[in-house]
């Protein structure tokens, strides 16, 4: 079977964090799992490098978008290498073959009659690179997805006829391609509510792929970053070029976070339908990692650094915890205490101790050399239980129940531990039942072998250590024998190894800044990212009217021309410093996207900037007059 596993391609305006690591580690697990099962597997990851957000972030750092994208893309690649992520290809959307593929796809959609020219008027969230209608926004023009302020966009644009594909999409969902199913239901409801055609080009910035058939005298159209990005999944296989890996497409499994499911489950299949490319096999949508129930954010200082966790506890442990702790699809809280609990119970007690005891007993009773063909004969019920557990575990992977998969695999180790307690090999030996003891130890080796094959895609290093100790091999041929055919091995030559997971004492959470550090930070002016600064819409405007607010000694009521259809009404507490008449005709600086507020019953739609010291207060005024509404930045 063919398996083509993809992660989202990551924006290069952020350094890799636990959310990115989570998606990538699940994809890595699937790649290794299917490879071990003998499937032809291919794993794609990479970086999403175009768009307004990246252009702004690069500008703010005084870099070209390409320099900036290259630097951050490198950080992602390095981290995945440090995490031993077994990707087959790392794509950058600035790669030539990708650019060609995107332009080809655009031309094909145009030829098909799915693209037409019009004018887009609506709201745009730069952070999500996503369009919204005013009715979709949260009150006060905030993005319904990330909560940041949106900007108004009115520009010439090419549109993709998304609405045309509504029925075909609904038909596709009947084959249950999206897991978990509650996420699929959300998508179906969204589509049933009606789809609007999608604006797929922008003209107000530069950093992106140009449309292929730019007409003479036409404004420069840049392809919408999501159309560009989604096409990575086929351009990486050679779409529009060598096509050398396109045969893998039939096994496509996309792993995505719930926040970007809409793009993958609605836009992407519609684009594919337009291009006459078959639809992906599965889309798995995972939830979000939170820290104590809160979204992680740099400004609060509660971001979990995956590298720190992995450096402290080991890569395998980190991977195991991410997959085991939270039911796939749901949000999860990251807690170091929970991580330590899992190390001490499941890894150290259930697995590590089992191997130790097995090594100990093999050495004591059989000089580390075991041989028996009677394991199944002595323990038929336990053999059946082992088989059933394995069969059950395998179906769980197909249904994206990764945490339950691990739970099931651990039942194998519980079975082994229960058998030791029940049959007491030391008593058997005392009673002269050496044959049964040896059969028991061989059973335990087989069970451990099978369990290790099953968790090897999650903890490859640990699996290799156990393989070295039991003299076994982690390979597709062995998987076939031991897992698919339920074979039993009769001889084991055991090597002694150091304990796998020494117990750990609980300590304070260390992977984030300490509470005191956060407090200290809170008392200082917090640092913000340039993207946060760009969230403020600062503009120059001319004071058309200014008067005192009745009943207030402090407040002045302004009407300011910001180049919009009507003047803004703004209240400012500067009456002690200025005579209102003197300000008429002056240009002032205004925060134009403040949520409107009421002062003394009057609505104020912005804030006028001023500076104050011991000599009093002064308005901030442009050195020379500028057009009303000009952006400050």
Q: Which of 121, 195, 131, 199 is nearest to 164 (CA)?
A: 195
Sign of CA dihedral 379, 380, 384, 387: positive
Q: Give the separation between CA 590 and CA 604, rounded to whole angstroms.
A: 12
29 vs 100: CA distance, rounded Å: 31
> 20 or 32: whose CB is closer to ligand MSP?
20
Query: Which lies closer to ligand MSP via its Cβ, residue 8 or residue 451?
Result: 8
Is 361 a binder of ligand MSP (CB under 6 A)? no
Choice between 433 and 509, CB closer to ligand MSP: 509
If we measure between CA atoms, which residue out of 230, 266, 248, 299 comes closest to residue 533? 299
In degrees and rounded to multiples of 5, residue 466 shows phi and psi of -65, -40
- Closer residue to ligand MSP (CB): 222 or 354: 222
> To 5 degrees, how large is the angle CA 145–CA 148–CA 150?
95
Least Å distance between CB 100 and ligand MSP? 18
Report if residue 562 touches ligand MSP, rule: CB under 6 A. Answer: no
Question: What is the closest distance, in whole angstroms, from the C-beta atom of residue 303 to ligand MSP in the complex?
Answer: 9
Which residue has its beta carbon closest to ligand MSP? 257
Instruction: Considering the complex, state which of residue 75 and residue 357 has its C-beta at the smaller distance from ligand MSP.
Output: 75
Beta strand 332-333 with 538-548 is: unpaired
> Angle 306-313/65-82 helices, nearest 10 degrees?
20
Q: Which residue number, 330 or 579, has a Cβ lying nearer to ligand MSP?
A: 330
Binding piece for ligand MSP, criterion CB under 6 A, among 6-14, 54-62, 437-445, 473-481? 6-14
Is 285 one of the binding residues for ligand MSP (CB under 6 A)? no
Q: Do strands 178-179 and 282-286 pair parallel, antiparallel, or not at all (unpaired)? A: parallel
Q: Does 19 bind ligand MSP (CB under 6 A)?
A: yes
Among 23, 123, 130, 572, binds ligand MSP (CB under 6 A): 23
Q: How far is the CB of 122 from ligand MSP (least distance, A)?
A: 20
CB of 316 to ligand MSP, least distance (A): 20
Candidates 18-26, 202-210, 309-317, 597-605: pick the segment binding ligand MSP (CB under 6 A).
18-26
Q: Which residues pair with 284 in a beta bridge?
A: 179, 255
For 23, 355, 622, the CA distances from 423, given in Å and listed in that order, are 43, 17, 87
10 makes contact with ligand MSP (CB under 6 A): yes
Q: Name the H helices within 83-138.
A: 96-111
Contact set for ligand MSP, span 215-234 (CB under 6 A): 229-230, 232
- Does 296 engage in binding with ligand MSP (CB under 6 A)? yes
- Shortest distance (Å) from residue 107 CB to ligand MSP: 20
Q: Which two tokens stand for residue 95?
A: 């790669």
CA 289/CA 304 separation, integer angstroms: 9
Phi, psi of 341 (to 5 degrees): -60, -45
Separation CA 49–CA 207 (nearest Å): 9
Give the CA diameter of the chain.
109
User: Whole-number minimum distance, CB 62 to ligand MSP, in Å?
Assistant: 23
Instruction: Please tell me the distance from the alpha carbon of residue 286 to that of residue 179, in angstroms, as a whole number.
Output: 9
Min separation Cβ 7 and ligand MSP, Å = 8
Q: Which is nearer to ligand MSP, 65 or 257 (CB)?
A: 257
Helix, strand, coil proportions of the chain in percent (round to 5)? 45, 20, 35
- Alpha carbon separation from 103 to 51, 89, 239 (Å, rounded): 16, 21, 11
Q: Which is nearer to ligand MSP, 72 or 191 (CB)?
A: 72
Using rule CB under 6 A, residue 8 touches ligand MSP: yes
Does 256 interact with ligand MSP (rule: CB under 6 A)?
Answer: yes
Closest residue by Cα to residue 238 from 106, 96, 41: 96
Identified binder of ligand MSP from the candidate list 3, 4, 5, 20, rule CB under 6 A: 20
Examine residue 69 and tell whether it contacts ligand MSP (CB under 6 A).
no
- The distance of closest approach from Cβ of residue 47 to ligand MSP in the complex, given in angstroms and rounded to an integer, is 8
Summary count for the chain: helices (H), strands (E): 24, 27
Question: Rounded to the nearest whole angstrom, what is the least distance from the CB of residue 289 to ligand MSP in the complex?
Answer: 4
Q: Which stretch binds ligand MSP (CB under 6 A): 20-28, 77-85, 157-165, 418-426?
A: 20-28
Least distance CB 237 / ligand MSP (angstroms):
14
Check binding of 319 to ligand MSP (CB under 6 A): no
Contacting residue, 120, 132, 289, 328, with ligand MSP by CB under 6 A: 289
Figure out which of the listed residues 3, 4, 5, 22 binds ligand MSP, where binding follows CB under 6 A: 22
The count of residues in the chain is 633
Distance, in Å, from the CA atom of 16 to the CA atom of 236, rounded to the nearest integer, reads: 22
Is the peptide bond preceding residue 377 cis, with omega within 30 degrees of 0? no
Residues near ligand MSP (CB under 6 A), total: 19
Rounded to the nearest whole angstrom, what is the least distance from the CB of residue 79 to ligand MSP in the complex? 13
11 binds ligand MSP (CB under 6 A): yes
What's the closest the beta carbon of residue 224 comes to ligand MSP, in angstroms? Answer: 12
Stretch that binds ligand MSP, among 15-23, 32-40, 462-470, 624-632 (CB under 6 A): 15-23
Instruction: Classify the C-alpha dihedral 38-39-40-42 as positive or negative.
Output: negative
* Residue 513: half-sphere exposure toward Cβ, Cα within 13 Å: 16
Using CB under 6 A, which residues numbered 32 to 61 contact ligand MSP? 48
Residue selected from 5, 9, 339, 538 as contacting ligand MSP according to rule CB under 6 A: 9
Residue 280 touches ligand MSP, criterion: CB under 6 A: no
Long-range (24+ apart) CB contacts under 8 A made by 610-618 are: 610/572, 610/574, 616/577, 617/574, 617/576, 617/577, 618/577
What burial class does residue 335 get, using C-beta atoms within 10 Å of its C-beta: 0-12 exposed, 13-18 middle, 19+ buried? middle
Specify the stretch interacting with ligand MSP by CB under 6 A; choose among 17-25, 193-201, 276-284, 469-477.
17-25
Contacts with ligand MSP, residue ranges (CB under 6 A): 8-11, 19-20, 22-23, 48, 229-230, 232, 256-257, 259-260, 288-289, 296
């Amino acid at each position: 079977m063919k398996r083509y596993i993809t992660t989202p391609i990551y924006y290069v305006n952020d350094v890799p964090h636990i959310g990115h690591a989570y998606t990538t580690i699940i994809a890595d697990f699937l790649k290794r799992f299917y490879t071990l099962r003998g499937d032809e597997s291919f794993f794609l990851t990479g970086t999403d490098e175009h768009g307004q957000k990246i252009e702004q972030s690069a500008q703010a750092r005084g870099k070209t978008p390409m320099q900036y994208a290259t630097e951050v893309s490198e950080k992602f690649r390095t981290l995945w290498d440090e995490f031993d992520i077994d990707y087959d290809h790392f794509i950058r959307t600035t790669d030539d073959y990708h650019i060609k593929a995107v332009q080809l796809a655009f031309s094909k959609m145009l030829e098909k009659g799915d693209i037409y020219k019009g004018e887009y008027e609506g709201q745009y969230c730069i952070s999500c690179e996503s369009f919204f209608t005013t009715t979709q926004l949260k009150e006060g023009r905030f993005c319904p997805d990330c909560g940041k302020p949106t900007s108004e966009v009115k520009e010439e644009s090419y549109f993709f006829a998304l609405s045309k594909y509504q029925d075909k999409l609904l038909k596709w969902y009947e084959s249950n391609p999206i897991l978990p199913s509650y996420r699929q239901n959300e998508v179906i409801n969204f589509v049933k509510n009606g789809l609007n055609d999608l604006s797929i080009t922008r003209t107000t910035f530069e950093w992106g792929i140009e449309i292929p058939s730019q007409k003479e005298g036409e404004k420069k159209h840049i392809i919408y970053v999501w159309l560009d990005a989604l096409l990575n999944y086929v351009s990486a296989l050679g779409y529009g070029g060598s096509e050398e890996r396109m045969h893998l497409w039939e096994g496509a499994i996309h792993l995505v976070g719930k926040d970007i499911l809409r793009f993958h489950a609605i836009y992407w299949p519609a684009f594919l339908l337009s291009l006459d490319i078959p639809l992906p096999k599965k889309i798995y949508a995972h939830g979000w990692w939170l820290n104590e129930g809160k979204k992680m954010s740099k400004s609060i200082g509660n971001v979990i650094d995956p590298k720190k966790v992995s450096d402290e506890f080991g890569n395998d442990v980190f991977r195991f915890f991410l997959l085991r702790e939270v039911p796939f699809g749901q949000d999860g809280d990251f807690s170091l205490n929970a991580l330590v609990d899992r190390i001490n119970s499941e890894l150290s007690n259930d697995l590590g101790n089992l191997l130790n005891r097995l090594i100990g007993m093999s050495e004591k009773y059989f000089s580390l050399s075991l041989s028996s063909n009677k394991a199944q004969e002595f323990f038929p019920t336990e053999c059946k239980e082992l088989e059933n557990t394995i069969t059950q575990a395998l179906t769980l992977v197909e249904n994206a129940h990764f945490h339950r998969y691990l739970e099931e695999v651990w039942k194998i180790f519980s079975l082994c531990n229960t058998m030791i307690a029940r049959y007491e090999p030391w008593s058997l030996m005392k009673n002269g039942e050496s044959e049964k003891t040896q059969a028991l130890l061989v059973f335990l080796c087989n069970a451990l072998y099978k369990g290790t094959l099953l968790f090897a895609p999650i903890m490859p290093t640990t699996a290799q250590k156990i393989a070295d100790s039991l003299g076994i091999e982690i390979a597709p041929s062995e998987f076939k024998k031991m897992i698919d055919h339920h074979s039993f091995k009769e001889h084991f030559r055991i090597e002694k190894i150091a304990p796998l997971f020494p117990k750990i004492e609980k300590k304070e959470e260390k992977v984030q800044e300490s509470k005191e550090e956060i407090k200290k930070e809170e008392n200082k002016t917090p640092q913000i990212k340039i993207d946060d600064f760009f969230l403020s819409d600062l503009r120059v405007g001319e004071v058309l009217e200014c008067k005192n607010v009745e009943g207030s000694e402090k407040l002045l009521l302004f009407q300011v021309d910001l180049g919009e259809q009507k003047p803004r009404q703004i209240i400012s507490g500067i009456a002690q410093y200025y005579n209102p008449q003197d300000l008429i005709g002056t240009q002032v600086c205004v925060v134009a996207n403040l949520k409107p507020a009421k002062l003394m019953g009057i609505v104020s739609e912005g804030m006028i900037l001023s500076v104050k010291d011991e000599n009093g207060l002064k308005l901030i005024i442009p050195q020379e007059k500028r057009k009303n509404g000009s952006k400050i930045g």
